[in-house]
Amino acid sequence: MITIPGADHGSGAMPGEYVVTLSKTKDPLEGKTSLDGLSGEELDKELARLFPRGLPGPVDLLPAKYGNRRDTPIAPVKVEKGKKNDFTFELFSK
């Protein structure tokens, strides 16, 4: 569940229609146990060995179309004042 904060704590999004984009990423270093306990020069050397071309960016876990406001297949949502405004989004891998 994601809550959109508003200007006042807990006020949520302003009423209106919104395009929905979603993204979820994973740290490319997650699970690299060879990095545990290393610091300073040791860490630099191990990172250079693992990633000779430089550190990779985050790994996208959702198809790119969901993160692009022009390509998202998710229908716009309408936030209405005084309503609960809960939205569920069904995602597909293709």
Prediction pTM value: 0.64
Reply yes or no on whether the pLDDT at 70 is more than 90.
Answer: yes
* Judgement on whether residues 32 and 10 belong to the same structural domain of the protein: no
How many domains does one find in the chain? 2
Q: Are residues 30 and 57 in the same domain?
A: yes
Domain that residue 36 falls in: 25-61
Confidence check: pLDDT of 79 > 80 = yes
What's the CA gap between 66 and 70, in Å, rounded?
9
- Judge if 31 and 15 occupy the same domain: no
SS3 44: helix
Does 31 lie in the same domain as 48?
yes
What confidence tier does 75 reach under pLDDT thresholds 50, 70, 90? Answer: very high
Q: What is the mean pLDDT of residues 80-94?
A: 85
Are 41 and 57 in a shared domain? yes
Q: CB within 8 A of 49, min separation 6: which ones?
A: none
Query: Can you give the pLDDT at residue 31?
Result: 77
Could you tell me if 1 and 14 lie in one domain? yes
Mean pLDDT of the region 21-31: 87
User: Based on the domain organization, do 18 and 32 belong to the same domain?
Assistant: no
- Mean pLDDT value across the chain: 85
